[in-house]
Amino acid sequence: MNPPSELYRRDDRCQSKVEDQTVRVVFPPIELAVLAAMARDAGAAVMLKDYPTVGATAEDFLEHIRGFAPDLILLNSTVHTVEQDLHAFTLAREMFPKVMTVAKGEALALRGEQILSDFTDLDIIFNGESEIPFPKLIQGLPLQEVPGIVWRNEYGIAVRNAPGPYISDLDAVPVPARDLLDNNLYRSPENGRMITAIYAQRGCPAKCIYCPAGSLYNYTVRERSIGSVVDEIQQCVDVYGIRDFLFHGDTFTLHKKWLIGLCQEILKRGLDIHWGCNSRVDTLDDERAEWMKKAGCWVVAFGFEHGDQQMLDHMKKGARATKAPEAVRVCRRHGLQVHGFFVIGLPWETRETLETTYSFVRSLDLDYFDFNIAYPLPGTEFHEIVTREGLFEVADSTKGGYAQAAVRTYDLSSQELTDWRRKALLKMYARPSWIFRVVRNAASNGNTMFYAKEAWFRLNRLARI
């Protein structure tokens, strides 16, 4: 389950409040649905719940488990919600004292020994790819023989088992058990249709100091076979009526041959789908973009991150700001919209670098954009710097996020960063040229109502920060 706490994106790379995102979209818990499929394949009866998406309470959770009587409960947590999340285990133990309790989440794994000490109703934390240890838990193997977990032995001492190897063949991972989800809950803010995420690859080669995506998988990228990915898309279309997708992955366009082959297979099967993906500025060219558009891509998201090259160098992005305009032009030439992400608030940020980035964003003239305030996730180099330099400005270091800064820079306070982001986004959204483009695009696609709804929510949210 995603436990009955706050509504967050709960993948290890992105742990943000959904309401803090410019494009407010909730995706189904695909990683949990994969584990649910594994458990069911092993003969278990499985219940899969995404409580925050429906605003469910602890009482709803207790009512469900009272009837289900679980032997094992697994939840997904974030650095911001760990205390609320793990309280669900305390409630469950009052009803089922012997239930095995398992948590996943990179922020928990890195602090596994401390987390187990602080939360005595938690038994096991996954450390690494969850698909390695989970089947072994289902099979009932002794915990000392299960790779990739942190657990508590008979003396109450936390033990960290060696991690298992990375999964060499991602096709061996089962398709998510979408039949256990209420797929109607997950809707595209662009058009109101059902949307889901396809996990076609894992890993990222970049070493950005604020992001754990690269280190999670040793800075390598693994892809599923083209047939496996398109089979899953076909199932979504034929069985669930889902035609809108996000290809989850930090570097979806990295391997040109694989990407073009995937687009060709989508076209070969006649799949009429609508999708978006993430890219780097240096992994998209005209040939890739042409095939993507033909296969149903409508938007490409780039982590431009900053307009100041020194800031890009500090964050170890491994990219050049000068490459961004050409990446945008490539998308424009092929009718692809562009969503730009920018990261502010790293220790070297100044008022001058913020203004450089603001001017840079305006010059790119993007369709969608977001300024995200960097949060020091445990295990990142950014977290090490913040801890060493004493840059936290909140009493509880789990607070803060994309919209509310938790740390100061060497020159700016956390409040200054929060205020700058709000004002910059309001100015960007208020540009007549941008408003005209959005209204025109929405009207041409029959999506005016959905765009208006999201715009109203976003303006109200920014006004409250």
pLDDT of residue 217: 82
Phi and psi dihedrals of 418, rounded to 5? -60, -45
Tokens of 130: 């969850």
Question: Which pLDDT score, from 0 to 100, does residue 51 have?
Answer: 97
Q: What pTM was computed for the model?
A: 0.93
CA separation (Å) from 249 to 14, 252, 277, 343? 11, 5, 7, 18
- pLDDT profile of the chain (465 residues), mean per 10: 93 80 88 98 97 96 97 96 96 97 93 95 96 95 97 95 92 97 94 96 92 82 97 98 94 96 98 97 96 98 96 95 97 97 97 97 94 92 96 84 93 96 91 82 74 66 64
Which pLDDT belongs to residue 443?
76
Partners of 301 in beta bridges: 278, 339
How far does the chain reach from its first CA to its final CA, in angstroms? 30
Residue 173 neighbours by CB under 8 Å, 6+ apart: 34, 131, 167
Q: Which of 265, 273, 263, 335 is nearest to 300 (CA)?
A: 335
- pLDDT at position 465 is 61
Phi and psi, residue 197, nearest 5°: -110, 140
pLDDT of residue 379: 87
Using the 8-state DSSP alphabet, how is residue 404 labeled? S
Residues 61, 65: Cα–Cα separation, whole Å: 6
For residues 308 and 336, the answer to whether their CB atoms sit within 8 Å is no
Please report the pLDDT score of residue 464 as a whole number.
Answer: 64
pLDDT of residue 457: 65
SS (H, E, C) 200-225: CEECCCCCCCCCCHHHHCCCCCEECC
Mode of pairing for the β-strands spanning 100-104 and 195-199: unpaired
pLDDT at res. 462 = 66
pLDDT score for 436: 82
- Please state, in angstroms and rounded to a whole number, the distance separating the CA atoms of residues 386 and 216: 21
pLDDT of the residue at 37: 98
- What does the pLDDT read at residue 271? 98
Give how far Cα 197 sits from Cα of 73, 149, 275, 460, Å.
24, 27, 9, 28
Rounded Cα distance between 21 and 25, Å, is 8
SS3 of residue 188 by DSSP: coil
Domains of the chain, earliest start first = 18-160 (3.40.50.280), 187-438 (3.20.20.70)
